A and B are shown apart, each in its own frame.
Chain A
Amino acid sequence: MSATAATPSAAIPGLGRKIGSLRKERRWALITAYVSLIVAAIVMLAPPVYMLVTSLKTSAEISNPVGTPWIVRNPTLENYGALIGDPMFRGFFFNSIKVTVLVVCVTMVISVLAAFSLARMKFFGSQVLATGVFLTYLVPDTLLFIPLYQIVGNLGLLNSTWGLVLVYPTLTVPFCTWIMIGYFASIPKELDEAALIDGANWMQMLTKIFIPVALPGIIAATIFAFTVSWAAFVYPTAFITRPDEMPLTIGVVSQLIRGDTFAWGQLMAGALLAALPPVIVYAFLMDYYIAGLTAGATKG
């Protein structure tokens, strides 16, 4: 086109070539990004898809595979029906919900209060305490469960979901506190000074200023506490042997694997049902989380 001749890129020698090479670079960057993302998505999604496919098969189809195992020939919901109809499975579900809700509440109350005091109220040893809180998170639960077994046993809470409510916060509180310290520390100091002058006491400052302003951080910490508590495996395996007190993670495994008999269809259906609440929580809270992260990120 004749109009092209008038563009600055044509008027300045070498500029056209430069823009061309930039476009080329961008195209390659996009191709690389897409290929990597597709590979990553396949790797990540293959197990849940396989679980879903298997959960829709009958036991007969699972034990006598014909052709590719990735295709369901006679889809059925009988595995889901059997689980949902089973009062024991519903009990596992209820136990998981009870433990997780309580643990998330306990964790958030402790870590928000701890983080606020460690981030804002300068007191003797606050720095050491803040570091100490994080250090406790570095001790793996596979080491801690032995002494904790002793403690929970002495308290008479073995074989009880209350034992889990007591123990899980040792996993969640340090990390959540650490996340919250970071969020609270990023709130400008002038905001608490303005609140102090406006007449707020420390508690009002926390509830009316810090918690609303650090909501994205609180949601991030809540998601973390929820995930850890919902997916915990080592502690319930060690502390719970009675089926009626078991949470989903060990309930599904202990009741659907009898010796060397694996009820694969129900196992997969149970695992998918167990994954449902975290998916719902993520889907629901992520919007708020991301909205919170991006709001005010640019100069107003």
Chain B
Amino acid sequence: MAQVTLNRIVKEYEGGVQAVKGIDLDIADHEFVVLVGPSGCGKSTTLRMIAGLEEISRGEIRIAGNVVNDIPPRDRDIAMVFQNYALYPHMSVYDNMAFGLMLRKFPKEEIRRRVENAARILDIGMLLDRKPKALSGGQRQRVAMGRAIVRDPKVFLFDEPLSNLDAKLRVQMRTEIKKVHQTVNTTTIYVTHDQVEAMTLADRVVVMNHGVIEQVGPPQELYHRPLTKFVAGFIGSPAMNFIPARLANGGAALNVVLPGGITLPVPEERSRRYAAYAGKEVLFGLRPEHLTEIRPNDHRPNLAHLQLTPEVVEPMGMETLVYTWLEGTEVSARIDPAVAAAPGQALPLAADMGQMHLIDPQTDRVI
């Protein structure tokens, strides 16, 4: 069990291209941290530098207080689970899991005990004699996790472990990973491009973009209080709606004025925060779940009513997604499935202004 500290980590390739641009991150003992971001954001490179599979151009990585920059992967006391499982195809499941311990010259009895224990945790006891090619994708990923667990390392590293699985299995394995972490409680760093995985698994989510960290925080904090437009748009599915607008003084209160003249009142408690932006162009952000049907006896304060015409209606069972246009921008709304909504038919909607976000278009930071 260990802390992991990244101190101004840079990864620079030949020709000066920087994949990781000086990131700082402290990961606490037992913590489950998820690095999330789009392709090419530097999340996998960061993980591989922690693993020792990629050289660090500048900066310092510490595992359990020791600088590991020049320590080879085998001496870092880490275990890694790869996207394509990376099981040894010629070895049985047992040997795959035991391989690391055999190389470290563990006594046979101890190896057996650990492999059987890991097999029990992952429910793969009946597969120990099989070769990887006789396993399904989900079983292979369990074996890959078993290989990590038996080592009892200081840190678990996961590199997009669920990307090769189908949607149903992915959800199932996600829960398995969470259970395993709750059981073994090892410090875990997990890389994914899937924000749902990030939100569901992490104690803290690290959102990366273009080689820098955009924001670090618990899932709920990232969701409710994003610091940048990127984080606001990346976390949440469907993504937050962004509508170009102007912040206007309407007497005592502020109003968000959309391009076509629609005026939405800013809640009073936000007036002070936004005061400096009065009269300026801003980006008005609202999540689909805050653009809903008008409910009878709705006690939510700060509701603004809109009349929109859906272009596409997607019934999901527990909710219905409605795609429509608002002042030239495509927006999505999340409504109760009981509400009758049809393409081309006007639908009254309520924007919960208490949940709005305003973004400075100059800096892309949330105001």
Of A196, A198, A209, A295, the residue contacting B72 (CB under 8 A) is: A196
A residues within 8 A CB of B135? Answer: 300
The yes or no answer to B33 lying at the interface (CB within 8 A) is no
Q: Is the CB of B78 within 8 A of A197?
A: yes
Within 8 A of A (CB), among B75-129: 78-80, 82-84, 86-90, 99-100, 103-104
Asked if A191 and B74 make an inter-chain contact with CB atoms under 8 angstroms apart, the answer reads no
| Interface size in chain A (residues, C-beta < 8 A) | 21
Task: Give Cα A195 to B86, complex, Å.
Answer: 9
B103 touches A204 (CB 8 A): yes
Q: A193-B53, A197-B80 are in contact. Are A213 and B86 (CB under 8 A)?
A: no
Contacting residues of chain B (49-78) with chain A, CB-CB under 8 angstroms? 51-53, 72-74, 78
Contact A212 B90 (CB under 8 A): yes
Contact of A300 among B79, B90, B134, B151 (CB under 8 A): B134
Interchain CB contact under 8 A, B90 and A200: no
Task: Check if B133 is an interface residue, CB within 8 A of chain A.
Answer: yes
Q: Given the complex of chains A and B, what is the CA–CA distance between A208 and B78 in angstroms? A: 21
CA distance in complex: A215, B90 (Å): 10
**Do A199 and B86 touch across chains, with their CB atoms under 8 A apart?**
no
Contacts of B151 in A (CB 8 A): 198
Tell me how far the C-beta of A122 lies from the nearest C-beta in chain B, rounded to whole angstroms: 12
Q: How many residues of B contact A (CB 8 A)?
A: 29
- B134: chain A residues at CB < 8 Å are 300
Complex Cα spacing A205 to B103, Å? 11
Q: Which of A188, A197, A295, A296 contacts B73 (CB 8 A)?
A: A197
Partner of A193, one of B86, B87, B136: B86
Smallest distance from the beta carbon of A164 to chain B beta carbons, Å?
A: 35
- Which A-chain residue is minimally distant from B53 (CB atoms)? A193
Do residues B53 and A198 form an inter-chain contact, with CB atoms below 8 A?
no
The chain B residue with its CB closest to the CB of A193 is B53
User: Bound state CA distance, A193 and B78, in angstroms?
Assistant: 12
Q: Distance (Å) between the CB of A243 and the closest chain B CB?
A: 46
Bound form: Cα–Cα A100–B134 in Å: 38
Q: Is the CB of B86 within 8 A of A191?
A: yes
A213 touches B74 (CB 8 A): no
Which residues of A sit under 8 angstroms from B51, Cβ to Cβ? 193, 197
Task: Specify which chain B residues have a CB less than 8 angstroms from the CB of A204 in the assembled complex.
Answer: 103
Residue A146, interface by CB 8 Å: no
| B132 within 8 A of partner (CB) | yes
Interface residue? B147 (CB, 8 A): yes
- Residues on the B chain within 8 Å of A215, using CB: 90
| Residues of B close to A213: CB separation below 8 A | 88-90
Those 4 A-B pairs whose CB atoms lie nearest each other, nearest first: A198-B100, A190-B86, A300-B133, A194-B86
